Amino acid sequence: MAELNGRSPDEAEFVPTYEIAPGIKPGAWVFAPKSRGMATVNREDLTANRLLRLPSAPIRVEQGDNITLILENTHYFPHTIHLHGVDHAFSNNDGVPQTSERMTMPGEQHVYQLKPRHAGTMMYHCHVQVQAHMMMGLQGLFIVEENKPNNWVQTFNVGAGKVRAPSKGVLEDYVQEYDMHYQGIDTSLNNLIQTSNDPRQLAKKMHRIYDITDGSDDYFMLNGRSFPYTLRESLITVEPNQHTKLRLLNGTPDVIAFHPHGHKPTVTAYDGVEVNPANRIQRDVFTLSSAQRIDLDLYTKDDGLNSYGEGVWLVHDHAERAITTNGINPGGNVSQIVYRKYLNKNAMAKVEGVSLMPYFTPEYYQGEVPSWTESDPYGYWADVAGRDVSTLKDVLLIIVLGMLFGVVLLLLKALYACLQGLINKMTGEQS
């Protein structure tokens, strides 16, 4: 287990640092494959070691294998692993402290043993204080591949996304395979770990003071990053007339509405259970509730239904909050389906719209770049878009205007009194 962007008594900065988008470093916890070396690149560069990142790595096993999963708790809180949807025995294996096992305390380990009889796209997550620990990032894909002869599965897919070595079962029907893990971050929970390094204070803040029913997500990620970093790491690259297998997991507390532009994929499994071929639905928005998984067949046949043809097609959650980063769009879990002839030498898409460069700056997500970026070279709309009304200048302006208004009122009052006196005097002289 590892902490990202947390508080350390030894460092002024959060450590190890991990950016989900330019300049954005929320606190998070992950299940990480055991490795050697330091958590940071070196003593000076506090960037997280490449194996320590969001999401918790997708785990792949084969149906019918005897699997031993050892949780080593190197963290400061108790945790467990719940193997959600995976065939496993109850006793000492379900990860629920209230029913099946003791929590794994800091410094302890727990051995999970299973032999899944059923293949499918499942998940794993911590079942201690789930409302907080799952949202901190202790969740990942757990994929049970079909049992096939001479099959070697890729045990960890660090960073998720493209599976480098798909299983034999997948390759029978597909050319390639992608893991797609959607997550959200509520900074009022996640950034608590940046306020203290005392586990007693953090336990109180996270499990007693923080209330998820008052919370809402600020950041939305696909495979551990938000736009524009998704464009570097989570592109789905395709060729015409190919079948690509997508495995989606919704790890957010809300419904997501997966929407690929230019394509209508077919659902082949829900929650690791195959859909009867006659009932396979083809659509352009797939809803996934929390913890739900779907397997999709993305078929790039240019027939106006499966695909509208080659290009750079956006892929995003159509629940609009999820295409923002702290309310700023474009952001969130936006990615792309890119046909290979549209890839440039940096393995990013050749786009025909506005330049993507402004989105790669921290200033964009601090609201300092106008919404229209370089489409407004003369800055016609720049001032309004870029100005924050709460700046000192605006506050002073409001105070000065208020004082001037007061002076005008006083003058009007004096004028009225003067006129009244004059009228009284004139009527007094007449009588």
Rg, Å, the chain Cα set = 28
User: Which residues, including other chains, have CB under 8 Å from residue 409's CB and lie 6 or more apart?
Assistant: none
Nearer CB in complex with Cu ion: 207/259: 207
CA angle (210, 213, 218) in 5-degree steps: 75
Q: How far is the CB of 188 from Cu ion (least distance, A)?
A: 19
Q: What gap in Å lies between CA 374 and CA 297, rounded to an integer?
A: 37
From 75-83, 177-185, 262-270, 309-317, give the range in contact with Cu ion by CB under 5 A.
75-83
Q: Does 144 help bind Cu ion (rule: CB under 5 A)?
A: no
From 11-19, 79-87, 248-256, 364-372, give the range in contact with Cu ion by CB under 5 A.
79-87
Distance of CA 269 to the CA centre of its chain: 23
Which helix (DSSP H) or strand (DSSP E) does residue 268 occupy? strand 266-270
Grouping H, G, I as helix, E, B as strand and the rest as coil, residue 191 is: helix
From 122-130, 169-177, 202-210, 310-318, give the range in contact with Cu ion by CB under 5 A.
122-130
Nearest to 196 by CA among 4, 7, 12, 16: 7
Nearer CB in complex with Cu ion: 126/319: 126
Q: What gap in Å lies between CA 332 and CA 295, rounded to an integer?
A: 22
Nearer CB in complex with Cu ion: 48/128: 128
Residue 314's CB is within 10 A of a number of other CB atoms, namely 14
Q: Does 82 help bind Cu ion (rule: CB under 5 A)?
A: no
From 9-17, 119-127, 318-326, 381-389, give the range in contact with Cu ion by CB under 5 A.
119-127
From 36-44, 78-86, 164-172, 293-301, give the range in contact with Cu ion by CB under 5 A.
78-86
Residues 58, 144 contacting (CB under 8 angstroms): no
Among 7, 53, 60, 79, which residue interacts with Cu ion (rule: CB under 5 A)?
79
What does the chain come to in residues?
Answer: 431
Residues 366, 327 contacting (CB under 8 angstroms): no
Q: How far is the CB of 127 from Cu ion (least distance, A)?
A: 7
Q: How far is the CB of 1 from Cu ion (least distance, A)?
A: 8
Place of tokens 């209508």: 264
Nearer CB in complex with Cu ion: 95/370: 95
Nearest to 220 by CA among 91, 315, 326, 355: 326
Q: What gap in Å lies between CA 239 and CA 241, rounded to an integer?
A: 7
What number of chain residues touch Cu ion (CB under 5 A)? 4
Among 1, 30, 122, 128, which residue interacts with Cu ion (rule: CB under 5 A)?
128
Q: What gap in Å lies between CA 286 and CA 317, rounded to an integer?
A: 9
Question: Cis peptide before 22, with omega less than 30 degrees from 0?
Answer: no
Among 52, 57, 59, 126, which residue interacts with Cu ion (rule: CB under 5 A)?
126
Q: How far is the CB of 76 from Cu ion (least distance, A)?
A: 11
Residues 28, 185 contacting (CB under 8 angstroms): yes
Q: Which two tokens stand for residue 325?
A: 């980063």
Q: How far is the CB of 126 from Cu ion (least distance, A)?
A: 3
Nearer CB in complex with Cu ion: 78/116: 78
Q: How far is the CB of 52 from Cu ion (least distance, A)?
A: 17
From 97-105, 129-137, 196-204, 403-411, give the range in contact with Cu ion by CB under 5 A.
129-137
Q: Does 133 help bind Cu ion (rule: CB under 5 A)?
A: yes
From 4-12, 81-89, 123-131, 156-164, give the range in contact with Cu ion by CB under 5 A.
123-131
Q: What end-to-end distance do the CA atoms of the chain give, in Å? A: 98
Nearer CB in complex with Cu ion: 71/126: 126
Nearer CB in complex with Cu ion: 78/370: 78
Residues 297, 314 contacting (CB under 8 angstroms): no
Q: Does 84 help bind Cu ion (rule: CB under 5 A)?
A: no
Q: In the complex, which residues of this chain contact Cu ion (CB under 5 A)?
A: 79, 126, 128, 133
